[in-house]
Amino acid sequence: MLEIKNLSVCLKSKANKTYTLVKNLSYKLEAGQTVAIVGESGCGKTIHALAIMGLLPPNIKISQGEILLENKNILLLPPKERRKINGKDIALVFQDALTSLNPVMTIREHLLEVFADRTKLYLDEAEEEISKILQQVELPERVLDSYPHQLSGGQRQRIMIALALILNPKVLIADEPTTALDEDTQKQILALIKKLQKKRKMSVIFITHDLMLAKEIADKICVLYSGIKLEEGASNDIFANPLHPYTYCLIRSIITEETVKGKPLFEIQGMPAKNGTRFYGCPFQNRCKKTTKVCIKFQPSLEELRPKHFAACFWAKSVNSQRRQNEL
């Protein structure tokens, strides 16, 4: 359905310096599949989503790579044709609904604007479609005459999902759609996305820094760090047997019942490199307890260390190689 191939995204500063924000990112999204893109803030999750949608700021450009939608490279399309894809083929749910919605427009005006801009439906036909989408996102029609600030966080997020799905896209990108929502509302939004995905046979890219959410919704997980993919595998494999030390640390950082009862919360020492930082070797080297000289000098390539389970880590490769020898 969608394939990202060797995608690199660069920022050009006012001092005319170029910084790489996403480097050689590749992954495939099959029809009906959910891929979770996880990592700490600033690792390139949202930037890569904006690159897919063609919504990058003027000072940030795609320097190389392909974005294939049903085997067609959409980066080669003229701007007018590229714009037609947004909403119809690929849609994006932004993480902050309150700042994404126009405060002086009612919900009805938001939804009607999509039809006015992208379809040739008459008003009564558009109103009928709006009623259908509200039912699908489980909202009453009375919200149509409300302004964004008059709705709860969960209701606003459902409106964002409705706006994204109203043209029936094949791919939905959900950029941290449960941020700032309470736990119960998070579960409702996740359940809604999964329900609509199944009903529409839609593919989903789910962006989050919360691994528990990724585990709950995703078939496959890609772990990013400083714009580089460090690990990729099936959700169950990632949690049962993480290969990269960074993934292992992220899983250990998850709050559990033991943590609530007083056990100290595990924390990854140090801070991630700032977006666009130039470095040699593995980007996680300054925070990793498995770092050796080779990690400092060379950047490990992403390799399949187990069936359909990839990692970019010299330590993981050596451990996996030793394990195979022992099995033989």
Q: How far apart are CA 140 and CA 143, in angstroms?
A: 6
Q: Which residue matches tokens 């950082």?
A: 253
Q: What pLDDT is attached to residue 168? A: 85
Query: Is the pLDDT reported for residue 93 higher than 60?
Result: yes
pLDDT of residue 68 exceeding 90: yes
pLDDT of residue 325: 45
95-145 pLDDT, tens per residue?
A: 888 888 999 999 999 988 888 777 777 788 888 888 988 998 999 999 999
- Cα 325 to Cα 328: distance, rounded to the nearest angstrom: 5
Global pTM value: 0.89
Average pLDDT over residues 252-270: 73
CA 301 vs. chain centroid, Å, equals: 22
* Model pLDDT, residue 126: 84
Name the class of domain 2-89+169-327. alpha beta
Beta bridge mates, 9: 22, 62
Measured CA to CA, the distance from residue 122 to residue 200 in angstroms comes to 24
pLDDT at position 246 over 60: yes
pLDDT band for 174, please (50, 70, 90 cuts): very high
Minimal CA–CA distance to 225: which of 254, 251, 247, 253?
A: 247
Kindly state the average pLDDT of the residues 164-187: 86
Strand intervals (E) in the chain: 2-12, 18-29, 34-38, 60-69, 72-73, 90-93, 171-175, 203-208, 220-225, 228-234, 303-306, 309-311
20-50 residue pLDDT tens: 899 999 999 999 999 999 988 888 899 999 9
Q: What is the mean pLDDT of the chain?
A: 87
pLDDT of residue 275: 60
Residues in CB range of 58: below 8 A, 6 or more apart: none
Instruction: Say whether pLDDT at 265 is over 80.
Output: no
Q: What are the structural domain ranges in the chain? A: 2-89+169-327
Residue 256 has pLDDT above 70, yes or no: no
